[in-house]
Structure 1
């Protein structure tokens, strides 16, 4: 495929270009809305996993084990299977099983356990000495969580957010296989099914650029907050 053929396609396909632009907007909406919902549930879940472990502030073996099983089950289900398996739930929740809004539901569900484990890992990197010092000064668990654990783990949390958003970009493209909208839907319908290599290539390039932007912003923020 030559550069001239791509440029020629670009000049003579105004409608598809408009479709690519609108699909990019759908992909961004899916990724960030699903990410936001995933963070709302995943961050507290990750914190709870950390707190209830054997040496945690709120050590509770039964609760930790139960949460761990739920998270592991959620992480073990391939996204494409989850996408199809919860179609009835998605339809009940948003009134449809296709489109951007419908794709956000499985994306958020898939992101939640993924985020929880990443947050748990970020909290594990906080030196135990800091927590012990806070306890020695009489700090309560809530104060330790809000003023010691989360601030100290902030670089790891931002990195977890970045990894999650990049993963969701890939998942959102996969959602196009069942009419989820976005760039994945364009790549499949207009690229793969119509044997249009240019559409496929442009879709891939846009997705790669989007991932690079997210990763670059995440890396920049980590450097800004990491004072170690």
Structure 2
């Protein structure tokens, strides 16, 4: 594995860990939330610098349905991160406390919606690239028996199912669409329970992204084969 690829993976894993910590606000508190948020913003900028080729090729090549969805998600992540960076600085009481003024009410609303949209979109983004991650892991380890593969798939399905249950139970769609602008935090919930729930929710959207990408990839191959067959018949 190339050095640049190793750096990319380290940055992505750090961002994933920070994302879970940032969502667990009731566990880490205001000050750590701000420091982790600042770290997340720095890592996001580094992630974009390492993947600057994606921006260069944005207006090149053919746009398949999968590429269209991936582009929308990626631009959505960029938008939410910019909103979180701006609103986080305005709302800051510790890290950026030297910044005075700003539209506090707007920033609070923006931060709420962007936080949950960012969580969903970043998880989907990870899901789109999950096949590549699995491919790297498989190269490092021996080929698994077929039964082990199915056990892991069933485990992934169980995690995704629990994640969907947690997502609905926590009423996160109401925060994403600003139907509810006051987040309920259960400060009596255990640390393990909070992280397990958010990890499962992340797993659900990774699951959706991964299998959507696989499905669209197979559909694209099927379309290409049909075109080739028609070309041969003609």
TM-score, scaled relative to structure 1:
0.31
Q: Which has the larger radius of gyration?
A: 1
